[in-house]
Amino acid sequence: MDRAFWRARVIKNHLTQDPCTQTRSLSGAPCLDYSPPELAEPAAAFDVAAMRALLDGHNVAERDWLFGLMTQSKLFNPRRVGGRVFVAPDYNQSMEQQREMTMRRIEFLLERGVFEGWLTAGTAEGELRKLALQEVANIYDHSLAIKFGVHFFLWGGAIQFFGTERHHVKWLRDTENYVVKGCFAMTELGHGSNVRGIETVTTYDPRAREFIINTPCESAQKYWIGGAANHATHTVAFSQLNINGINQGVHAFIVQIRDADGNICPNIRIADCGHKIGLNGVDNGRIWFDNVRIPRENLLNSVADISPDGEYLSAIKDPDQRFAAFLAPLTAGRVNIAASAIYSAKIGLAIAIRYALSRRAFSIAPNQPEVLLLDYPSHQQRLLPLLAKTYAMSFSANHLKMIYVKRAPELNKTIHILSSAFKASFTWHNMRTLQECREACGGQGLKTENRIGHLKGEKDVQSTFEGDNNVLMQQISKTLFAEYLVARKRNKPFKGLGLEHMNGPCPVLPQQLPSTVLRSDQFQVDAFHVRERDLLNRFAEEILQRQAQGERKEHALLSSYQLAEDLGRAFSERCVLQNFVEVEENSPAGSLKDMLALLRSMYALTCMEEDASFLRYGYLSTENAAAVRKEVAKLCSELRPHALALVNSFGIPDAFLSPIAFNWVEANSWSSVQH
């Protein structure tokens, strides 16, 4: 009755326009107040700093250093909202302005030594530092990370991997210092994932000792080339190499496309790809080569070379193996994308969960306060399984980075397959997480300043660039099929890719699944092994059966796409669980280890609940599938008190989140409009 009386009085004063009430401020008593979740939530039950160290995996101090650099510079667009300072690009700027600001931020980072040693350190520690700082830049702005990622990881990586000492000496230091600005011209209008089919053609003129690179048709124009539209001075151009009428396959060449003053070079045509749904701070361009002549030395020749008189030379005689060697830089890109996708999911979850710990909706009893969003079991079910998956994938991203920076020839296949699996799985997870977080924030999730909605547009491209996710999953299954043939037809045990579990007897899953069994890491690992083993056997048998009926192997593989997708998912999720178990086993007994066990169970059981394969192929009965589902709900309620500590463990500074993660009432107040 008091609230009804107050509202009636406000309406009366408004209608009668009582001058005595015109200047009075509204009373805050009946209004919602923001209460920081730190005041109501229990203290962290585990060491948040130790958990962050596990999640980041490496270079925590360097990450914080770069966070500090960006927070303190006006170039990174600091803005005070709701009593806090946030840093984020101004997405109201035009495409041209966003591109200019991206380049200015790169120059700022260059002057402060951020890129020091990125191409010249030559150590695993140097590579880990580079990956860590790239991830921090990605938290601030995807355009910034992609812009210098193309320069260092693709252009610079191509020179490192494909070039020899003469290229390293001439180009790497100048690339690291941005004396040259590089881009990476592989994709064409007519060919993306099918790199082998690109149509750009290069021939050799032995008299001039020059290569001639040409775009023979419109579908051969280089497309989506990051940096090409405005800033790049050089590119690594991928082209078919035709020597004496024989096509030797795809090779890589250094081509200058602009002079030092930014003028486009002769016989080069460049056009803009235009406005995009995201990444408008990156100047994606299109390139045509009109019989451009380049020195013989500009062939990146670690895999193959041309003698001065035009003889083709390569130690790798098999064209398929030669082509595989040319795809090496994409592995670095996929490692990067997998890790950056998880950090984007962390941003979305940190914002959505903090908001859900302060935003209330509906009372469930008379005269009771409205309920916090995260106290609704349905809201927990929306966000907490995704939180557990993000933890699990963080540990696998770290595992991938570690084997990548310490790579040896015998690990090349493992790195290629894991980077493909994680790039696909993690980017899909990121987009699903951002969508759920956007919806969980209601209308506030639509505001660009609150980041989540905008991140969806920025990150959508990750599902298709540097390998379409669906194509990558089929490649994984194709590789597993090859491993199957070696093991079965040649009577050899499985070795590598974590497939050693195929050598022993198939695990038998219990018929009764009480909570203690469901949460057992042994049961979870066994269930994932049963699924992967069965799907690989089914996939191989279906292909072999199709071949026995006269189908070509390639057509049989394509026709078995449904099992291929199921198998690719099973492989990826088993790898993630395996890495999670290792992290948990290596942690000392205590509250942190206990929390890891909860998260691991949530990850494993959520995967089991979501994948229809467990029911489709009978790994779980309908009763056991229902038990899995109920256990996920129990885990949600158990993780709920720890939600704030778990997102705080991400280590993302407040300034890199958004207003609705904090005092969303003040951020939207009239005083904030006036200021």
In CATH, what number is assigned to the domain containing residue 221?
A: 2.40.110.10
Q: Is the pLDDT of residue 329 over 70?
A: no
Q: Is the pLDDT of residue 18 over 90?
A: no
Query: Residue 568: which pLDDT band, with cuts at 50, 70 and 90?
Result: very high
Query: Residue 566: which pLDDT band, with cuts at 50, 70 and 90?
Result: very high
Is 0.75 topped by the overall pTM? Answer: yes
Query: Residue 26: which pLDDT band, with cuts at 50, 70 and 90?
Result: very low
Rounded distance, CA 586 to CA 584, Å? 5
| Inside any domain, residue 590 | yes
SS3 assignment, position 18: coil
Closest CA to 483 of 470, 492, 474: 492
Looking at every residue in the chain, the average pLDDT score rounds to 93
- Burial annotation 95-125 (CB, 10 A radius, 16+ → b, else e): beebbbbbbebbeebeeeebbeebbeeeeee
Query: Residue 10: which pLDDT band, with cuts at 50, 70 and 90?
Result: low
The per-residue pLDDT for 6 is 53
| Inside any domain, residue 198 | yes
Q: How many independent structural domains does the chain possess?
A: 2
Rounded distance, CA 449 to CA 657, Å? 9
Q: pLDDT higher for 60 or 323?
A: 60
Q: Residue 218: give the domain boundaries.
A: 180-318
Rounded distance, CA 519 to CA 497, Å? 25
The per-residue pLDDT for 28 is 42
Rounded distance, CA 422 to CA 287, Å? 31
Rounded distance, CA 390 to CA 182, Å? 33
Query: Residue 410: which pLDDT band, with cuts at 50, 70 and 90?
Result: confident
Can 500 be counted among the known catalytic residues? no
Rounded distance, CA 569 to CA 272, Å? 37
| Inside any domain, residue 503 | no
Counting DSSP H helices and E strands in the chain, the numbers are 27, 15
Catalytic residue among 176, 188, 458, 466: 466
pLDDT > 70 fraction of the chain, expressed in percent and rounded: 95
Query: Residue 373: which pLDDT band, with cuts at 50, 70 and 90?
Result: very high
281, 301, 318 — which closes off a domain? 318
295, 318, 341 — which closes off a domain? 318
In CATH, what number is assigned to the domain containing residue 593?
A: 1.20.140.10
Q: Is the pLDDT of residue 21 over 50?
A: no
Q: Convert the pLDDT of each residue in 262-310 to its tens digit.
A: 999 999 999 999 999 999 999 999 999 999 999 999 999 999 999 999 9
Query: Residue 321: which pLDDT band, with cuts at 50, 70 and 90?
Result: confident
The per-residue pLDDT for 531 is 98
Cα 83 to Cα 40, 659, 664, 668: the distances in Å are: 20, 9, 10, 11
| Inside any domain, residue 587 | yes
Average pLDDT over residues 381-387: 98
262, 283, 318 — which closes off a domain? 318
Q: Is the pLDDT of residue 347 over 70?
A: yes
| Inside any domain, residue 435 | no
Rounded distance, CA 164 to CA 56, Å? 33
| Inside any domain, residue 302 | yes
Average pLDDT over residues 634-643: 98
According to DSSP, the residues that pair with 283 across neighbouring strands are none
Q: Is the pLDDT of residue 315 over 50?
A: yes
Q: Is the pLDDT of residue 22 over 90?
A: no
Q: Convert the pLDDT of each residue in 620-637 to its tens digit.
A: 999 999 999 999 999 999
Residue with tokens 């194509």: 471
Q: Is the pLDDT of residue 539 over 90?
A: yes
Cα 564 to Cα 393, 532, 535: the distances in Å are: 22, 11, 8
The per-residue pLDDT for 193 is 84
| Inside any domain, residue 659 | no
Rounded distance, CA 56 to CA 136, Å? 11
The per-residue pLDDT for 29 is 42
Phi (first) and psi of residue 87, to 5 degrees: -115, 130
Q: Convert the pLDDT of each residue in 112-121 to its tens digit.
A: 999 999 999 9
| Largest separation between any pair of C-alpha atoms in the chain | 98
Sequence-distant (≥ 6) Cβ neighbours of residue 72 within 8 angstroms: none
Rounded distance, CA 554 to CA 637, Å? 48
Q: How many CB atoms lie within 10 A of CB 544?
A: 17
Q: Is the pLDDT of residue 164 over 50?
A: yes
| Inside any domain, residue 443 | no
According to DSSP, the residues that pair with 222 across neighbouring strands are 188, 287
The per-residue pLDDT for 1 is 54
The per-residue pLDDT for 431 is 98
Rounded distance, CA 301 to CA 318, Å? 16
